[in-house]
Structures are given as C-alpha cells and as structure tokens.
A = this chain, B = another copy of it.
Amino acid sequence: MSVSFASLDTMANPVVRSCGSAMLYLGDCREILTSLPSSSVDLVMTSPPYADRRKNSYGGIVPDNYVAWFLPVAEQLFRVLKPSGTFVLNIKEKVYNGERHTFVLELILALRKQGWLWTEEFVWHKKNCYPGKWPNRFRDAWERLLQFNKSRHFSMYQEAVMLPVGDWSGRRLENLSETDCKRDNAKNESGFGKKVANWIGRDKVYPTNVLHLATECANRTHSAAFPESLPAWFVQLFSKEGDKVLDPFMGSGTTLAVANRLQRFSVGIEIKKDYFDLALERIKKAQNSNSSLTRQMFR
C-alpha cells in the first residue's frame, strides 16, 4: 500500500490522496470532475447527498432545486464516462407534505434530454428497512437504482452476478436444520455469493431487476448508506477487473472500498472532510485486509 500526495493546480484548495488503485479527491465534484479526462470511466455508481440525507453538504439542496443542481454534475459524468460505460444512480424521493416528491421523475426526464439513455430501473428491496408507524403510510422498503447509458451498446457482465437456482430458497432450505444454516453461513463469508452456488452444486440463474438486500447495521464506524453488496453487484455487473469506477459523491466510501477490493481502479470525490477522511481510512484498511464482502442475497 502506498499513500502519495498530489495537487490540482487549477483549483484553490486541492486535496488528492491515492491509495493503491484508488484515488480520493476532497472537494466539490462539480469542480473536480472537470479535471478528469473524457471517456475514461467504465462505471459511475453513486448515491448523491439527497438520498443520503446529508443535507448539510452541498448547501442543503431543497428538492425543488434538485434537478437544476444535479444537471451540471451529470453533464460532467457524461463526458468522463466511456461510450460503453454505465451510470448507476441510487436515489429515492422522500415524502413532502404528504406526497412523494417528483424530483426523481423530473430528473430522469431531464437526464434524457441531456443525452442519457434511461436503460433500466432496478428496485432495491430493503428487507430490514427503517422502522416506524404512520397513520397514512407504511414503511418505505425500496429504493430506485436508475441505470443510464450513453449508448445502447454498453458493457454488461451478467455471469458475474448469477444466482443459485430458485430451488435454493424454496424446498432446499426447508430441509436444513438450524445448525446447518449457521455452519454454511460461516462458510459463505469468504465467498461473496459464489460459495452459495457451489454449496448447492446446481445450476445458476440470471437475476432480475429486483435486488433483495438487507441494509447493513453491522458496521458501527459509519452510518451505512447502503450495504456493500449493493455497489458490489453493480460493480461486477458493469465493469471488469482493471476497469475504472467513479463515485462523485463518495460519502464514507462504500463504493470505492468495494471497487478497490474487486480489483477495479476507483476514483472518489467527497466535499466534506470528515467523510473524506473516513473513506480514506476505509480504503487503507481494505487495502490491507482480505476482509470479505458481505454475502449478497437476491431472489
């Protein structure tokens, strides 16, 4: 592991840290993105501040201004993304005055006008979503994962995210005792999904556009924005080893840590210093340890 220091002389207070194959920028992504070369990124995977509830960063964007605020960023993402690349946006509108806000819908329409193709909308089903009880509403247990592309011919590595056959969740598990479950789960920790398939020893099936992942509560150090298995799934699906993954709203660096561990080059940008430091620390650790990714669960 090597840590070096670099500077961008076009900016006022440039801070860059590289750690292995990861590069972390501290600053406003609207600025920093302009310094990245065109058509150099294979996958942009990000969960922008609003979905993260990080209201203080980026001046607390109110939903009505969200589209206008996001479009310049998206324009840069379009530029730095390879023609065969993919842009995955994790977002979910909140309730305002009793309604779901429409800024995500408007964002999709605006991005298309910008030239993006709205290829797909994945659903992330959060199994253990935030608890709560309201008289006119149930708990929100899903988020959008919007897939955008520059071209209809983009890179997709479906085999990398294949699943054990559906029989696994049905009859198979029924016959196993509880101790069997525990034992096999322990095995799974090192395998990141593949082991599960081998465990059954049967054919694999392709997943759907619905992702079943539990939100991680295990990590105490940072408020888990999303589980590692979420970016891991998209990193494996839309990039291969040696590709470059970009997260312009890095946060605590979940996407970067995963991309790094999966042998991708990664670029992260974060405007808040405490998050930046957190992410850097995390990448360093990931660089050293062989800690495994959390097991993914899809159905």
Contacts and interface: CB of A to CB of B under 8 A. Distances in A.
Contacts of A165: none
Given A105-B105, A177-B178, A178-B180, 20 more contacts: A98-B152, A99-B117, A99-B119, A100-B118, A102-B109, A120-B137, A120-B138, A123-B123, A123-B125, A128-B188, A128-B192, A133-B206, A136-B156, A141-B210, A170-B174, A174-B174, A181-B185, A185-B185, A185-B188, A189-B218
Nearest to A192: B128
30 contacts: A98-B117, A98-B152, A102-B108, A102-B109, A102-B118, A106-B109, A119-B137, A120-B138, A123-B125, A123-B142, A125-B210, A127-B299, A129-B208, A133-B206, A135-B156, A138-B206, A138-B207, A139-B206, A139-B209, A140-B208, A141-B208, A142-B210, A173-B177, A182-B184, A182-B214, A182-B297, A185-B185, A185-B294, A186-B214, A192-B217
A189 B215 CA distance: 12
Chain B CB within 10 A, most for which of A176, A210, A297: A210
B119 A136 contact: yes
Interface string A142-157: 1000000000111010
A277 interface: no
A133 B207 CA distance: 10
A100 B120 contact: yes
| Closest 7 pairs between A and B when the two form their complex, measured CB to CB | A141-B208, A98-B152, A105-B105, A181-B181, A141-B210, A139-B208, A174-B174
Interface string A195-232: 00000000000111110001011101000000000000
Contacts of A120: 100, 137-138
